[in-house]
A = this chain, B = another copy of it.
Amino acid sequence: MKLTRLDKLRLRLVAQDACLGWAFNDIAGKPGIVFELGLGHGRTYDHIRTHLPDREIYVFDREVDCYEDCIPPSDKMILGDMRETVPEAVQRFSGQVVLLHADTGSYGDKHNSAMQQLLNATLAPALAPGGLLVSDLKLDVQGTEPLPLPPGATESRYFIYRRT
């Protein structure tokens, strides 16, 4: 039977949760900051800040349109078009990002391939050695290698890469 819209969202959320949970554990004890690309309604931001209360978390979006209790502090919210804000932030925080969560996909193929191109071309210098890139889109960032997904995550619903 075909996967329904409900199946796709559910599999995505289950995979996202498994991948982030695995990443929280993996980075424990390693120094570094966190990038959250895509605030959206603030759900994954809420998840990340709850599990990583001591990390600096920089959040990127073109707008703040999230639940009121999920609004990032203004000095951590990087507002604007990611085509501009991401390259700038990668320079500013070069080598400091221990976890980069990129949740920038949508249901539009065109948007998704533009995002993949942007992220593939710009993210490499941001990651700390051993740092993780967790993404809803399949990426190919120089100097990173794909990792197997943790239990519970369905293949190709989410992606994890480590800076080698």
Q: A interface vs B, CB < 8 Å?
A: 1-2, 4-7, 9-10, 13-14, 16-17, 41-44, 46-47, 50-51, 67, 70, 107
Q: 11 pairs across A/B with beta carbons < 8 Å?
A: A1-B51, A4-B46, A4-B50, A5-B41, A5-B42, A5-B47, A6-B44, A6-B46, A9-B13, A10-B14, A14-B14
Q: Oligomeric state, in number of copies?
A: 2
Give the distance in Å from the alpha carbon of A92 to the alpha carbon of B102 in the complex: 49
Whether B5 lies near A70 (C-beta < 8 A) is yes
CA distance A46 to B107 in the complex (A): 16
Task: Decide: B5 and A67 in contact? CB cutoff 8 A.
Answer: yes
A51 to B7, CA, bound (A): 12
Which of A2, A4, A51: most chain B Cβ within 10 A?
A: A4
When the two chains form the complex, which single residue of B4, B13, B17 contacts A47, counting CB atoms closer than 8 Å?
Answer: B4
A contact patch SS? helix
6 A-B pairs closest in CB distance: A6-B47, A5-B43, A6-B43, A4-B47, A5-B46, A10-B13
Bound together, the chains give a CA A43 to CA B17 distance in angstroms of: 20
Q: Which residues of B contact A51 (CB under 8 A)?
A: 1
- Of A17, A44, A107, chain B has the most CB atoms within 10 Å of the CB of A17
Q: How far is the CB of A112 from chain B (nearest CB, A)?
A: 16
Partner of A10, one of B5, B17, B70: B17
Q: Are A13 and B6 in contact (CB under 8 A)?
A: yes
Residue of B nearest to A16 (CB): B6
Decide: B6 and A17 in contact? CB cutoff 8 A: yes
Most interface-central of A44, A46, A107 (chain B CB within 10 A): A46
